[in-house]
């Protein structure tokens, strides 16, 4: 903690208490379209914002474009479920496959801060095994980097968010900079059920400061983490990396939808990006381009960026763009207690277990799942009840019982498959560009993990004293779609997030992940982007000294 302010001053640049540093935004440096900036970054989520902050600190002239707004939490966010629809990416998309995955809500983001604005706040690390699932288990893929390559970036980001939690016994055991939060009724019941079944559960890891951090206040446990944290207690890049980036001369250009990446036919290098701002087509010149639009929009942008050199889409020489896109299976189990749980009180992310994360040789399936508290608000809870087949009078009766239910969610490691991918649909968006078509089908291992996770969650809640349990199947998170690999035949970028096909084009978001573990991806996306920034700076320094 000692040097975090020296590395990233964001929390000290915010006003004391909730709110936005308006002066910092008003005084933000602004580049002209025909300035050749050092880098233009597409997307201000977990990956894009981290890269921006690192490069701005190193003195780069950097601009980050985002299709959505530059949020002012006090004005733009509400403590209300239905009123938070504008936090999602709701541009048209087509979903297909034998298990089509709905998009646009929990697995999408929009505006500065990206989906971390409305993520729950869980920030577990990947386990060392996640980087070598092919070698260890014969499934998935091996990364071109190892856990050790990311370890100190994990530590850095955990300090910058900061992360609160108990000492973590799984994967590479480690501690967290902030102490664990107190838990609500929902977390208490998970702990009770885990103890009764001999399963280890721990409080955390959540990116919610426990105590004041810089000028950011303490969490008030209001339970609306998924609607954007108005308190400034839960971390998102909007408050953890963007303020420091602005203070170091970066520009954030919101409401700017990037429509194409330009590549010079003669040099083979990218020269900047086409974007639309307030209906006007514009072009930002840049020495380097980093795409960080997440697993659907990043492949879509590449596929829409065609040229004589790249007739099938940018960086798509080996038909890798859009492939190996993953979701996590996220079954959700609820248990009914005579006591009042009021699971909506307190942050949804509280307690988790990674006891079933790794491959268990006694089981017929590979890899595993994690279990975490989730606490659906009324609309999401109604969807859970509806998914049981209840409607009409039965639905109302179930819903009237809301105070008595506790809820757990699992994250199952679905395997990367080549045919789970983004392609372009014939349908066009309002800019006249083909929209993404996302096809998803589960494999046998995926289904087996869903079943195993469900059984374990039902066991825990029953052991905690629930007299009935009900489970629904759902999905969470997206990663992959432009994965990193050792060679161009197997991926789109290398371990440093540099594209194989265009030397000055990077991809720095969740789409580069070759596997996903059973971990929420935000921390790993930030760590990978932070590492990419370091590699860029080291290589840049080397090439300059040459």
Partner 1 sequence: MSTLPLAASDGGARFPGFSSAGQAKHWDTATASVVMARLGRPPEIHFFTPAQEAAAGALCNQLLDQREEPRVPVTAMIDARLAAQETDGWHYEDMPVDAQAWRQTLAALDDEARFRCGAVFAAATWHEQTRLLQGIQNLGPAPWHGIPAKQVWSLWTRYACTAFYSHPWAWDEIGFAGPAYPRGYKNMGVDALEPFEVRDVHPGDDPVRGKKGSP
CA distance 180 to 201: 13
**Contact between residue 128 and residue 151 where contact means Cβ atoms under 8 Å apart:** no
Element (H, E) at 276: strand 270-277
* Interface with partner 1 (CB under 8 A), residue from 7, 22, 29, 75: 75
Cα→Cα distances 506→288, 326, 492, Å: 8, 20, 10
Taking every pair of Cα atoms in the chain, the longest distance, rounded to a whole number of angstroms, is: 75
* Interface with partner 1 (CB under 8 A), residue from 337, 357, 440, 475: 337
**Cβ contacts of residue 361 below 8 Å, gap of 6+?**
none
Measured from the CB atom, the residue of 148 and 391 that comes closer to partner 1 is 391
The tokens for 386 are: 């509806």
Task: Give the other-Cβ count within 10 Å of 232's Cβ.
Answer: 27
Task: Please tell me whether residue 105 binds partner 1 under the rule CB under 8 A.
Answer: yes
The tokens for 488 are: 């161009």
Distance of CA 299 to the CA centre of its chain: 16
Cα→Cα distances 284→14, 34, 271, 288, Å: 29, 6, 8, 11
* Interface with partner 1 (CB under 8 A), residue from 23, 59, 83, 281: 83
The tokens for 12 are: 């000290």
As measured in angstroms, the least distance from the Cβ of 519 to partner 1 is 25
Site string for partner 1, 212-251 (x = CB under 8 A): --------xxxxx-----xx--------------------
Query: In the window 4-63, what residues touch partner 1 (CB under 8 A)?
Result: 18
CA distance 493 to 69: 29
Measured from the CB atom, the residue of 229 and 314 that comes closer to partner 1 is 229
Contact region for partner 1 (CB under 8 A) — 19-27, 201-209, 341-349, 530-538? 341-349
As measured in angstroms, the least distance from the Cβ of 301 to partner 1 is 16
**Cβ contacts of residue 229 below 8 Å, gap of 6+?**
73, 77, 208, 236
Cα→Cα distances 70→7, 43, 85, 175, 230, Å: 23, 12, 16, 33, 14
As measured in angstroms, the least distance from the Cβ of 349 to partner 1 is 14
As measured in angstroms, the least distance from the Cβ of 97 to partner 1 is 9
Say how many residues touch partner 1, by CB under 8 A.
Answer: 75
**Cβ contacts of residue 198 below 8 Å, gap of 6+?**
none
Query: In the window 134-173, what residues touch partner 1 (CB under 8 A)?
Result: none
Task: Please tell me whether residue 468 binds partner 1 under the rule CB under 8 A.
Answer: yes
Query: In the window 367-406, what residues touch partner 1 (CB under 8 A)?
Result: 377-379, 381-383, 386, 389, 391-404
CA distance 42 to 61: 15
Task: Please tell me whether residue 179 binds partner 1 under the rule CB under 8 A.
Answer: no
As measured in angstroms, the least distance from the Cβ of 229 to partner 1 is 9
Cα→Cα distances 220→30, 75, 161, 235, 516, Å: 36, 19, 17, 14, 31
* Interface with partner 1 (CB under 8 A), residue from 23, 92, 169, 175: 92
Task: Please tell me whether residue 475 binds partner 1 under the rule CB under 8 A.
Answer: no
Query: In the window 416-455, what residues touch partner 1 (CB under 8 A)?
Result: 437
Task: Please tell me whether residue 71 binds partner 1 under the rule CB under 8 A.
Answer: no
Task: Please tell me whether residue 313 binds partner 1 under the rule CB under 8 A.
Answer: no
Task: Please tell me whether residue 184 binds partner 1 under the rule CB under 8 A.
Answer: yes
What φ, ψ does residue 272 adopt, rounded to 5°? 145, -170
Contact region for partner 1 (CB under 8 A) — 52-60, 92-100, 151-159, 312-320? 92-100
CA distance 15 to 504: 37
Contact region for partner 1 (CB under 8 A) — 43-51, 145-153, 462-470, 530-538? 462-470
Measured from the CB atom, the residue of 45 and 185 that comes closer to partner 1 is 185
Contact region for partner 1 (CB under 8 A) — 49-57, 445-453, 464-472, 508-516? 464-472
* Interface with partner 1 (CB under 8 A), residue from 16, 135, 339, 428: 339
**Cβ contacts of residue 544 below 8 Å, gap of 6+?**
none
Measured from the CB atom, the residue of 47 and 185 that comes closer to partner 1 is 185
* Interface with partner 1 (CB under 8 A), residue from 189, 286, 408, 527: 189
Task: Please tell me whether residue 489 binds partner 1 under the rule CB under 8 A.
Answer: no
Task: Please tell me whether residue 188 binds partner 1 under the rule CB under 8 A.
Answer: yes
As measured in angstroms, the least distance from the Cβ of 183 to partner 1 is 7
SS3 397: helix
Task: Please tell me whether residue 2 binds partner 1 under the rule CB under 8 A.
Answer: no
* Interface with partner 1 (CB under 8 A), residue from 95, 195, 199, 276: 95
């Amino acid at each position: 903690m000692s040097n975090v302010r020296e590395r990233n001053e964001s929390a000290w640049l915010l006003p004391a208490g909730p709110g936005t540093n308006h002066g910092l935004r008003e005084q933000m440096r602004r580049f002209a379209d025909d300035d050749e900036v050092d880098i233009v970054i597409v997307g201000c989520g977990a990956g894009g914002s981290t890269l921006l902050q690192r490069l701005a600190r190193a003195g780069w002239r950097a601009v980050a474009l985002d299709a959505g707004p530059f949020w002012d939490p006090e004005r733009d966010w509400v403590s209300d479920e239905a009123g938070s629809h504008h936090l999602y990416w709701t541009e048209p998309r087509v979903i297909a496959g034998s298990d089509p995955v709905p998009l646009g809500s929990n697995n999408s983001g929009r505006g500065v801060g990206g989906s971390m604005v409305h993520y729950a706040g869980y920030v577990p690390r990947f386990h060392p095994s996640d980087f070598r699932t092919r070698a260890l288990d014969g499934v998935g893929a091996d990364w071109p980097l190892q856990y050790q390559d990311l370890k100190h970036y994990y530590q850095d980001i955990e300090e910058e968010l900061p992360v609160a939690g108990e000492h973590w016994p799984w994967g590479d055991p480690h501690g967290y900079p902030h102490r664990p939060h107190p838990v609500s009724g929902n977390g208490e019941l998970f702990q009770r059920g885990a103890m009764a079944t001999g399963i280890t559960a721990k409080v955390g890891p959540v990116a919610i400061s426990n105590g004041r951090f810089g000028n950011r206040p303490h969490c008030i446990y209001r339970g609306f983490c998924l609607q954007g944290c108005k308190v400034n207690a839960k971390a998102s890049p909007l408050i953890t990396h963007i303020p420091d980036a602005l203070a170091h001369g970066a520009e954030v250009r919101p409401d700017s939808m990037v429509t194409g990446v330009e590549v010079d036919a003669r040099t083979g290098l990218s020269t900047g990006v086409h974007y639309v701002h307030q209906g006007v087509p514009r072009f930002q010149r840049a020495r380097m381009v980093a795409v960080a639009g997440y697993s659907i929009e990043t492949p879509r942008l590449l596929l829409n960026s065609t040229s004589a050199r790249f007739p099938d889409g940018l960086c798509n020489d080996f038909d890798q763009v859009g492939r190996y896109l993953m979701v996590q299976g996220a079954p959700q189990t609820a248990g009914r207690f005579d006591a009042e749980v009021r699971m909506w009180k307190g942050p949804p992310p509280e307690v988790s277990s990674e006891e079933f994360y790794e491959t268990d040789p006694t089981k017929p399936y590979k890899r595993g799942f994690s279990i975490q508290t989730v606490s659906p608000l009324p609309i999401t809870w109604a969807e859970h009840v509806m998914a049981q087949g209840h409607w009409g009078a039965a639905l109302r009766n179930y819903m009237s019982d809301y105070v008595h239910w506790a809820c757990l969610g699992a994250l199952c490691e679905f395997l990367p498959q080549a045919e789970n991918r983004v392609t372009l649909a014939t349908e066009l968006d309002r800019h006249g560009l083909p929209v993404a078509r996302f096809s998803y089908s589960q494999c046998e291992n995926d289904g087996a993990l869903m079943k195993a996770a469900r059984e374990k969650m039902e066991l825990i809640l029953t052991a905690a004293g629930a007299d009935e349990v009900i489970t629904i199947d759902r999905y969470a998170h997206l990663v992959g779609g432009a994965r990193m690999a050792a060679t161009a035949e197997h991926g789109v970028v290398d371990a440093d997030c540099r594209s194989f096909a265009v030397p000055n084009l990077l991809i720095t978001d969740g789409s580069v992940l070759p596997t996903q573990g059973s971990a929420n991806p935000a921390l790993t996306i930030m760590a990978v982007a932070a590492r990419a920034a370091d590699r860029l700076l080291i290589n840049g320094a080397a090439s300059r000294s040459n």
